[in-house]
Each structure stands twice: as C-alpha cells, then as structure tokens.
Structure 1
C-alpha cells in the first residue's frame, strides 16, 4: 500500500503546484480585444497602407500606375505596417486582457496529466471539478498564446500574398503554396483561440461555485 500511497502523494503534490500556478490567472476580455483588432485596426491598416505603398512604389520606381509591381510593393508595406501595429496592439491591449502568470500551469504535471487537461478543454473528456482551477488556468494561457500568434501571422499572410502574385518573383508558385498553408495555420489558431474560450464560458458557473 505504501507504494500506491507514495504515487498518490506525488500526484497530489504535482496538482497542488499546478493549482498554485493557476491562481490569479483570468481572461479579462481577450475576445473583445481580438474583435476590435480584426474589425477595426487590421482592415483599416490594409485599406490605408496598400494604396499608400502602391503609390509610393509607382513614384519611387517609375512604374506605370497599373503595373502589378505597385500592388506588390503596397502589400509588402502594408504587411510591415500591420505587423508593427499588431505588435503594439498586442502589448497595449491583448496582453492586459488576460492575467496568464509567468510560468506554464502545465509545467509541474506529467505528460499524461497534461494530455488529460487538454482533452477536457477540447471537450473530449469530462471536466474534473477538483482540478477545474488548473484547467481554467491552462485554457486562459492557451487562449492568450493563440491570440498573440494570430496577430503576428495575419500580417505575414499579406507578405506571402504579395510574393505569390504572378511575375512577382521566380518562385511565386512556391509562395502560393505558403499562402495556402498560412491560411490553414490561421484557421488552426482561430480554433485554438475559440475552443478554450468556449470551455471557459461553459464552466464559468462551476468555477464560481468553487470560489464561494
């Protein structure tokens, strides 16, 4: 029996450490912050910077106004501009919208325990009430990481599209593949952002009852 008791004690110790790491972690409006970025800042950046960049390209390189290279240059300028704006927005709005702590909540747990937590967040396993604080902490950290990656990867898509325009370069066809794979990556990140959000909403009542 001592062997089983030792294993249980070690397991409880790991979950206890994870619980302490999860304390104070909370989503304080990541969904709203991302909606504002994608409905306001991102489209405005594209609409404003692409024409400005295309005009600058035509004036700087002496291209005719209808030259496709102007559009390519404008999209590259827009990609750089949107990336800069995105990084600033991430630091000023996205990061403060969540308290994620300084260490991964999953760190003290063993691999099978980490997998168990992720399956609960994805809805593939029943939620364990006794470890809900840990699972909530992991969900918030996953959601915040996905949000930051989305802000960055969206700007890269503009640069890839610019390089994928016909006659933009000798490897434009390869860049076209990158555009496709980047779209897939964006779709995956959007799923990884929304899934923890749904979990947090669906288990909010349970978390409130435990905190009382």
Structure 2
C-alpha cells in the first residue's frame, strides 16, 4: 500500500510538519446537492442544552440535580461536518462525533473499509466538505500537550508489547506532542493491514485520549 493511500501516516507526517495535533473535527451544515442520493441521512445524536427544565426538582425548589452538559461550539461544528459528509460527502453512514467533540475514528475506519474510499477519512469525495472540516478545526479546544504525549506514549508501548515491534514513541518538539508510529511515514514499513497490527490496534486504542485518537 502506498503512502498516498495511508491516511494515518499522512496525518502523522502533517502533525510532525506543523508541530500541532490537528485531530480532524467536524463542521457546518451542508445541503444535499451531490450524487450521494436522496435518501434521508440517519439522525445525529444530540446533546441536551444546559439548564434545568421546569419539571426538575431544582426548578421546583427541591434538591439540586446536575445540569446536563451544554453543547460546545466544537461539537456543533463537528455535527455540521458530519451532516456534510453524509450528504455532499457521499457517506450516509458517517458516524456521529463523540460527545467530547472529537471524531470516532474506530467507526470512521469501518466506513473506509466498507466503501474502499480513502476520502472517507477526511473531506469527502473531491474534498467537498473540507471547508466544514476546517471550520471545526478552527474551534477545536486547546490540547493539553503533556497529556497528549503521555497518552501516545502509553499507546506506542502497548503496540510494541502486542507484536508491532517497530512502532515508534511520540516526541515533544517545542512544547508540542508529535505522534509516533511508523518509523518512516514517507515510505511506510509497518503493515497496517496485517492481523497482528489490527489486533494490537484494537487492544491499544483505549490508551489514546480523544484529542489524539486517529493521529497515531
């Protein structure tokens, strides 16, 4: 498999170049004007707005209850990107973002496998949803770089412990956590399609916090 068809390697190389952690986040509402079909998109999970309703004990003067989490600008931007990917982007089964606002890369990976199209990783067919993707990236919360590094280090260690011996550690550069992984992203040596790699990936995925999942 060539480097051009290795989206995870491409993401790692981009992160190393920019010295950032640009986890792809998802953005603004798009109409269905493509050849993706006229089928209704599946409903997108919603997050309740903050504040008690009139029917809660707190509103009635009773015992206070925890308020539901408010929608964040980042989460809303990702919902818009998801809607675009389901319509203009051509992937009607594109998954909801996590409640943290980050993409669910495990589910997106399955969309890529089903469709056989690398465009499902980001931006959609012909990059039609790139503006929505960028809009979401613009409102991504600041990433705790130390936590990001520690998460990726634990993941890299786990990958090696589970048979992917050449998986490299992340590094810190100028205060930015740079993902590890393939020792030569420009000419990959890790076989990401092998049973060993896939099993290790499934085992070690929980080591990654949401802000760096999909980057390593």
Category of TM-score, reference length = shorter chain: under 0.3
User: Normalized against structure 1, the TM-score is what?
Assistant: 0.23
Higher normalized helix content (fraction of residues)? 1
Larger Rg: 1
